[in-house]
Structure 1
Amino acid sequence: MGSDNEQDATEEELGDEIGEEISTMNSVLGDAYRGELDRETTWRGRLDQTTTWSVTVMAAILTWAFSSPDNPHYIILVAVLAVTTFLVIEARRYRDYDVYRSRVRLFQKNLLADALDPSQGLTHDDWRTQLSSDYRRPTVKITFLEAASNRLRRIYLALLFVLLLAWIFRVTAFATGESFRTAASVGDFSGTVVSVVVGVFYAVILVISLWPHDRGAMGEFRKGEEHAWKRTG
């Protein structure tokens, strides 16, 4: 029992010493920043990998769908389902990526930026408390809906609409005199039912991507916030 108390006291003293020694604290924060930056880069790579899978699968299916008039048009709808699955995976990965990016941004905005120009002051006066709390109990910073909306706006909305246009063109190009309603049928489902389902799906993803809301993601590049370098000399 006594040894546990002594260990706790020693660890508390160690924390106090690190906090009081500026050089030691700077070294610790520097190592922490490099570690968080490495984690952010790793998760950024995972996001890019998911996008690559989406584009590869999409290109392969489109190539096969247009290779012969005998190939069914609904294979493009299978591609829509596959790309949507990758969207869900990437949205989940983006939430993890945002955890490490938010920490990196805390370092950049309050440590590096203040060191370069102390006259501007700290962005968050309690940033070390925030970072300490996040290290003690890591939590995601954004909702799944916000993550999905972000990935839709950045990448997946364009991919899905390319698939929609490809499906419409595939149905009409090889209709051979049939009406769109007949040519778009899938099994026992009429072309009208298929078109309604596709329309509802695209309406939903469009609402998700464009729905106005306060964003919790910190440190993103955002439109309307361009800032040019000041030219001197």
Structure 2
Amino acid sequence: MPDDSSDSPGGDDATATDPELGVGLFETDMGPSSALAHVYRGEIHRMKFWRERLDRTTNWAVVVMAAVLTWAFSGRSNPHYLLLVGVVALGAFLGVEARRYRGYDIWRSRVRTLQENVVAVGLAPGETSPDADWRERLARDYREPTIKVSAEEAIAHRLRRIYLPLSTVLLVAWVVRVTAFSPAAWPASAAIGSLPGVVVTAAVAATYGTAVAVACRPRTWHARGELREESLRKHD
């Protein structure tokens, strides 16, 4: 008795062996009402959703920083190390936001691929696509979505944009708190329990120096479509 499972919708490899599957879905003369327009709209929605997740984490960090600053300077008896606890909290938010940024970059890279190779070429028909293999690359990314930036690059990006300035504000406030608002002289005023002030100060300086090094070291950025200082210059 013949096996007609390949002719049924649920047959084994019914979709994998169909050579006509997807033919005509995307053509060279794609119009604004084509399937690609719906793909682009969907990627924009995903990118916007992950952008909002990034902003939400940033808002939490700013609220925590404001609360810590307010409480630390509300009375002379309040311990100075609460400002350092605030820095640790910012570090936790940084880790969460870096992970979200890596996810956000997946969708943004797809949007930038479509903008560079479809939208830009459509607006200037005389120009050619800057990436001859963009279809194959985008197809591979749809088959197997991959994270395109490392954790270190994501951390460096969020440090530059958000968390290094916030940490700087807290550390400057800590320095003011242990020098101008403490009855003891520095470095004794920076002590935390049995930890000498010199050790605490050295640990704070080393942590901040490491953050600056990670954020500012020369690197090749792999995140696509991100506006950076060097890319904001006007080209004639």
Q: 2:15 aligns with which of 3, 8, 17?
A: 8
What is the TM-score normalised by the length of structure 1?
0.92
Q: 2:209 aligns with which of 203, 209, 212?
A: 203
> CA deviation digits over 1:92-119, x for unaligned, max 9?
1000000000000000000000000022
- SS where residue 38 of structure 2 aligns? helix
1:219 aligns with 2:228: no
Q: Is the 8 A contact 1:87 1:151 kept in 2?
A: yes
Q: 1:105 aligns with which of 112, 118, 122?
A: 112
1:66 aligns with 2:73: yes
What is the match of residue 114 of structure 1? 121
- Counterparts of residues 40-51 of structure 1 (less than 5 Å): 40-51=47-58
Q: CA RMSD in A?
A: 2.1
Pick closer, same or farther for the CA change 1:8–1:182 going to 2, 3 Å: same
Q: Is the 8 A contact 1:18 1:25 kept in 2?
A: no
Unaligned runs of at least 5 residues, structure 1: none
What is the match of residue 77 of structure 1? 84
Q: Is the 8 A contact 2:26 2:36 kept in 1?
A: no
- Bigger mean CA offset, 114-123 vs 55-64: 114-123
What is the match of residue 89 of structure 1? 96
What is the match of residue 167 of structure 1? 174
Q: What is the aligned residue count?
A: 229
- SS where residue 93 of structure 2 aligns? helix
What is the match of residue 130 of structure 1? 137
Q: CA deviation at 1:228?
A: 4.9
- Bigger mean CA offset, 10-19 vs 181-190: 10-19
Q: Is the 8 A contact 1:33 1:104 kept in 2?
A: yes
* Letter aligned with residue 134 of structure 1: D
Unaligned runs of at least 5 residues, structure 2: none
- Bigger mean CA offset, 218-227 vs 31-40: 218-227
Q: CA deviation at 1:17?
A: 3.4
Between the aligned residues of both structures, percent identity stands at 45
* Letter aligned with residue 142 of structure 2: Y
For residues 20 and 42 of structure 1, the distance between their equivalents in structure 2, rounded to whole angstroms, comes to 29
Pick closer, same or farther for the CA change 1:121–1:130 going to 2, 3 Å: same
